[in-house]
Chains A and B, each alone.
Chain A
Amino acid sequence: MATLRQLIDTLGDEIVKLPLGEQRSHLVQQQEKLQDELDELVQKNVKTDTPKYQSAIAKLEGANQALVAAHQDVQQVAATISKIAEVIGVLAEIAASAP
């Protein structure tokens, strides 16, 4: 399974292919939030072998695959954005609960 860092990087690979516009801006904002969460996980040295973390990573991997398949289709990119939003929520919870 890919790691959060790799998935954020893959998301970046897709973002740079998109033309400037609303969809891209949304994805950029989401990537920033994911990056903020990753920085917090690094700072707190959070364990990544928990089921909750693994489940969030699996969801993000699914969202990334959907984004690759979307081929810049606006509707499909929008669907991906909402999937990523869910992942951000879970990661935020994990980071917040870490000491």
Chain B
Amino acid sequence: MHPRCVALLLLTLTACGLTTPQRAAVRNFSQATTALGEATSGQFVQMRDDVIRMNTARSELAAPGAHDGALEGAFVFKDVMVRTQAANTLRDYGELLQALVDDTQEKELQTAADKFVASVRGLPGSEKKLSDAQLNAIGQAVQQVGLLVVEWMKKRAIEKIVPEADPQVAALCDLLAADLNPDGNRLATGYLNTASRLRTVSDTSVKSASNPETRGAAAAAYQLAEASRARSHVLERAAAAAIELKAANRALSDAIASNEVTSDDLKSYATTVQTLIDTIKVLH
């Protein structure tokens, strides 16, 4: 082919990448996803630590034998690991999208894709919504970006990955939202119930203890209980953020799929993602 034709073809294909508003939408979304993944992963670990501390404090104040059951309460290690893995998978998904819209080197892009695929593979069967074939296709879509016409291939990779990952992202968001909901009768409810137990026990001890040492320990336990109870608002917002992220991924999928997406659509989407980012900020 004539070198001028090749140059023209390359120019045409390069121009067929994501539009600037589409790129901005993907970038905003990927940042929000990464932030939510990181924040929620930390939430579960902190909640488990808090529950152990609260139950330990309650045991110390209670009569011998009054507290049975594990100190970790509802936060069984393997269950917490599943939630952490779910949150990490969301984070890795966000990082993969980020790598696809940024000026990323081929090797880094491949690493981001491999990390996301490995994260999904690490989920327990009940939470895994992508087949091996789908995961291989995601890996391949990114591999092809290493070819000559980068912007065009990146767009194709995003068009492939976002809708393909949608059921997986939705399932992870549902799992996190249910567990973070203070009244969902799952992990967050167990956490707040532990705080409520400690408040009553420590209040009784503060009022009944005759020696200053016990009273001091009871007062510290009361403070711990109150600080934990106050987290119910944060948990509520975290659950809401997970639900918003699910909706945002669906909207992004539509925005990428539609060639007729208007700048108003993208502006409205950007507002949704900004709300999500603002919500996530309170989790840190």
Which A positions have Cβ atoms within 8 angstroms of B? 3-6, 8-9, 12, 15-16, 20, 24, 28, 31-32, 35, 38-39, 41-43, 45-46, 48
0 or 1 for each of B162-197: is its CB under 8 Å from A? (1 = yes): 000000000000000000001101110110110011
Chain A residues with Cβ under 8 A from B208's Cβ? 20
B73: interface (CB < 8 Å): yes
Q: Are A45 and B196 in contact (CB under 8 A)?
A: no
The 8 closest A-B pairs by CB, nearest first: A3-B183, A42-B190, A16-B203, A5-B189, A38-B193, A9-B196, A42-B189, A12-B196
Q: Are A41 and B185 in contact (CB under 8 A)?
A: yes
Q: Is B78 an interface residue (CB 8 A)?
A: no
Contact yes or no, B200 A5, CB < 8 A: no
Residue of A with least CB distance to B178: A45
Q: Do A42 and B185 have beta carbons less than 8 Å apart?
A: yes
B140 close to chain A: CB less than 8 A: no
Extra contacts, 16 of them, besides A5-B192, A12-B200, A39-B190 (Cβ < 8 A), are A4-B185, A5-B182, A5-B185, A5-B189, A9-B192, A9-B196, A16-B199, A16-B203, A20-B208, A35-B193, A35-B196, A35-B197, A38-B189, A39-B73, A42-B193, A46-B185
17 pairs, A vs B, C-beta closer than 8 Å: A5-B192, A5-B193, A5-B196, A6-B183, A9-B196, A12-B196, A12-B199, A15-B203, A16-B203, A35-B193, A38-B189, A41-B185, A42-B186, A42-B190, A43-B74, A43-B190, A45-B185
- Check A48/B197 contact, CB under 8 A, given A16-B203, A42-B190, A43-B74: no
**Could you tell me the distance between the alpha carbons of A28 and B204 in the complex, rounded to whole angstroms?**
9
Chain B residues near A38 (CB-CB < 8 A): 185, 189, 193
A9→B196 CA distance, assembly (Å): 6
Of all chain A residues, the one with the shortest Cβ separation from B192 is: A5
Taking CB atoms, residues of chain A closer than 8 Å to B183 are: 3, 5-6
Instruction: Give Cα distance in the complex from A42 to B192, angstroms.
Output: 11
Cα distance A35–B69 in the bound complex, in angstroms: 13
In the bound complex, how far is the Cα of B192 from the Cα of A41, in angstroms? 14
> Of A31, A41, A46, which contacts B200 at CB under 8 A?
A31
- Check A15 against B74 for contact (C-beta < 8 Å): no
B187 to chain A minimum Cβ distance, whole angstroms, is 8
Complex interface: chain A residues within 8 A of B74 (CB): 39, 42-43
Please indicate which of the listed interface residues B182, B190, B200, B204 has the most CB atoms of chain A within 10 Å of its own CB. Answer: B200
B2 touches A (CB below 8 Å) = no
Residue B4 lies at the interface, judged by CB distance under 8 Å to chain A: no
B196, A8: Cβ atoms under 8 Å? yes
Confirm or deny: B53 has a beta carbon within 8 angstroms of a beta carbon on chain A.
no
Cβ contacts under 8 Å, B193 to chain A: 5, 8, 35, 38-39, 42
Cα–Cα, bound, A88→B203 (Å): 23
Q: Smallest distance from the beta carbon of A11 to chain B beta carbons, Å?
A: 9
Q: Does B207 contact A (CB under 8 A)?
A: yes
